């Protein structure tokens, strides 16, 4: 199992490009199932979660491959040939690796009238239910049974319905949007997720021939059509990767420019970085950040887009651990998402978790130690802490990072970080 060795204290400087968004790709890829043909997804990041989704789609009969090299000499277009779908079953072996596998449910059911998808189960930081996905499909006429760990859904032709989500859910909005695109009649989704990844999905569906109004708002109206055609779309930039890199510069007294992303995607993070003393200039698809040196303690509370993302909560907690005073970080989306805290404490941070709030007393310096990754964003927070710490930090189990960050250590190295990947025997 690979690990990272980070020798902290290097100021990050320079320019680096942002990859395509993991969470957009994970919705765009299953959407290709809605049509028979060849779809192309441009700017797809090479990540383990993307490979897991490719494997799952292959299991269903899709021919999936990366076909174009990007400027780093790596491929960035995924081609999905859906002309010969042979199965509507998403097995446990794939779904257990990645919860986003549940995105195949809506497209398979609406196109083929049947889908059997393993229940995703728990997650590293607590329960992540899918009741809203199932309730919406039921309202559209699906019969749903839970047997032997699988969701088995059947329906003749789904019917348009009025769906009012009690909670704004990215996944449930995505699944309903895909299902409604081929349903009979009109579906209205109220309290729909407004995350840019969902808007990217809605744009792709429109290019495939779906009729969707209200993109980017909390009310989506979908007029079902009989058939969709395969198409192509560019994946939006990864706002969480961008936010993580900006914090890396802020924590190391650095000065960086990100390319390939506009401030629209991360205004909430930029505004909090400014509150903490950073100087930021956004211009077109570039974002420049200069670290404040002394970091002002700045509270954040996560919320749905355009609020501060839960996927940046762990990284912000790491940042505040070296602020000049005390701050609070509250997660309202996932109340238990604090697995990174005990590991940050091993690096010298002073953090107490009180219900869904981390109370952080900034320390002058973090000190390198051996720490363990527990999930994707927790791992990112440990890398950030390691970059700012005195001495050497060993981060074990970086496979969590490989699920969602493309070439993270290469990008950090370009910026001057002292970080290397080694094959570690520990697990
Ligand atoms: N929820 C329900 N019932 C449901 C679905 C969600 O109660 O049926 C609740 C959840 O428990 C949570 C809230 O609704 O409190 C929001 O969850 P959401 O459904 O929006 O999350 P998701 O679709 O499972 C996506 C991202 C996550 C990100 C969340 C929130 C993908 C593949 N995953 O998950 O990304 O944290 O939205 O923004 O898009 C990550 O990238 O590290 C990651 C975990």
Residue 254 has phi, psi (to 5 degrees) of: -100, -170
> Which H or E run contains 64?
strand 63-69
Q: Per 3-state DSSP, what percentage of the chain is helix, strand, and coil (rounded to 5)?
A: 35, 30, 35
What's CA 182's distance to the chain center, in Å? 26
Active site residue 123: yes
pLDDT at 122: 64
Residue 128 exposed, middle or buried by CB count within 10 Å (0-12, 13-18, 19+): middle
Q: What is the pTM of this model?
A: 0.97
- pLDDT per residue as tens digits for the range 15-36: 999 999 999 999 999 999 999 9
Q: Which residue has the tokens 């910026």?
A: 415
pLDDT at 81: 98
Q: How many residues does the chain have?
A: 427
Atom of ligand 1 nearest to the CA of 304: 38
Ligand 1 binding pocket mutation candidate from 167, 201, 312 (most atoms within 8 A of CB): 167
Rounded CA separation 357/336 (Å): 9
- 89-90 vs 114-118, strand pairing mode: parallel
pLDDT at 70: 58
pLDDT at 407: 83
CA 300 to ligand 1 centroid distance, Å: 19
User: 120: Cβ below 6 Å to ligand 1?
Assistant: no
Catalytic member of 123, 146, 167, 279: 123
Cα-Cα-Cα-Cα dihedral sign, residues 391, 311, 32, 263: negative
The token pair at 365 is: 């310096």
Ligand 1 binding pocket mutation candidate from 124, 171, 304 (most atoms within 8 A of CB): 171
Rounded CA separation 142/156 (Å): 8
Rounded CA separation 237/344 (Å): 28
Ligand 1 binding pocket mutation candidate from 136, 169, 406 (most atoms within 8 A of CB): 169
The beta-strand segments (E) located in 178-218 are 186-190, 211-213
Residue 37 exposure: Cα atoms within 13 Å on the Cβ side: 13
Sheet containing strand 418-423, strands side by side:
370-372, 392-396, 2-7, 418-423
Rounded CA separation 83/61 (Å): 8
pLDDT at 72: 55
Q: Which residue has the tokens 């579906």?
A: 187
pLDDT at 127: 73
pLDDT at 71: 56
The token pair at 169 is: 């859910």
Give me the residues of the chain with pLDDT under 50, please: 427
Atom of ligand 1 nearest to the CA of 309: 38
Report which protein residue has its CA nearest ligand 1's atom 26.
23
User: 28: Cβ below 6 Å to ligand 1?
Assistant: no
User: 123: Cβ below 6 Å to ligand 1?
Assistant: no
């Amino acid at each position: 199992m690979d690990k990272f060795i980070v020798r902290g204290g290097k100021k990050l400087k320079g320019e680096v490009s942002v990859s395509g968004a993991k969470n957009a790709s994970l919705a765009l890829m299953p959407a290709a199932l809605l049509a028979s043909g060849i779809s192309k997804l441009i700017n797809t990041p090479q990540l383990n979660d993307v490979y897991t989704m490719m494997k799952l789609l292959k299991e269903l009969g899709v021919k999936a491959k990366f076909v174009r090299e990007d400027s780093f000499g790596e491929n960035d277009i995924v081609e999905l040939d859906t002309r010969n779908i042979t199965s509507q079953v998403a097995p446990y072996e794939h779904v257990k690796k990645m919860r986003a596998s549940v995105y195949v449910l809506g497209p398979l059911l609406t196109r083929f009238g049947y889908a059997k998808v393993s229940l995703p189960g728990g997650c590293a930081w607590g329960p992540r239910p899918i009741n809203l996905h199932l309730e919406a499909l039921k309202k559209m006429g699906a019969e749903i049974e839970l047997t032997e760990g699988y969701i088995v859904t059947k329906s003749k032709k789904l019917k348009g319905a009025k769906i009012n989500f009690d909670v704004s859910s990215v996944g449930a909005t995505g699944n309903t949007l895909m299902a409604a695109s081929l349903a009979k009649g009109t579906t209205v989704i109220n309290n729909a997720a407004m995350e840019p990844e969902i808007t990217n999905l809605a744009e792709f569906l429109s290019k495939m021939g779906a009729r969707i109004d209200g993109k980017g708002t909390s009310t989506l109206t979908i007029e079902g059509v009989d058939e969709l055609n395969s198409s192509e779309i560019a994946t939006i930039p990864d706002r969480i990767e961008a936010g993580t890199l900006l914090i890396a510069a802020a924590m190391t007294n650095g000065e960086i420019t990100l390319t390939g992303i506009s401030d629209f995607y991360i205004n909430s993070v930029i505004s909090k970085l400014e509150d903490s003393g950073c100087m930021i200039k956004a211009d077109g698809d570039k974002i420049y950040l200069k670290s404040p040196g002394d970091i002002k303690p700045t509270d954040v509370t996560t919320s749905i887009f355009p609020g501060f993302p839960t996927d940046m909560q762990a990284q912000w907690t790491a940042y505040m651990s070296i602020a000049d005073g005390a701050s609070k970080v509250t997660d309202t989306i996932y109340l238990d998402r604090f697995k990174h805290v005990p590991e940050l404490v091993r690096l010298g941070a002073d953090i107490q978790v009180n219900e869904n709030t981390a109370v952080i007393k900034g320390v002058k310096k973090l000190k390198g130690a051996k720490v363990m990754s527990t999930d994707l964003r927790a791992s990112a927070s440990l890398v950030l802490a390691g970059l700012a710490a005195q001495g050497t930090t060993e981060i074990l189990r970086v496979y969590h990072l490989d699920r969602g960050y493309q070439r993270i250590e290469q990008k950090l190295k370009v910026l001057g970080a002292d970080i290397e990947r080694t094959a570690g025997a520990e697990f």
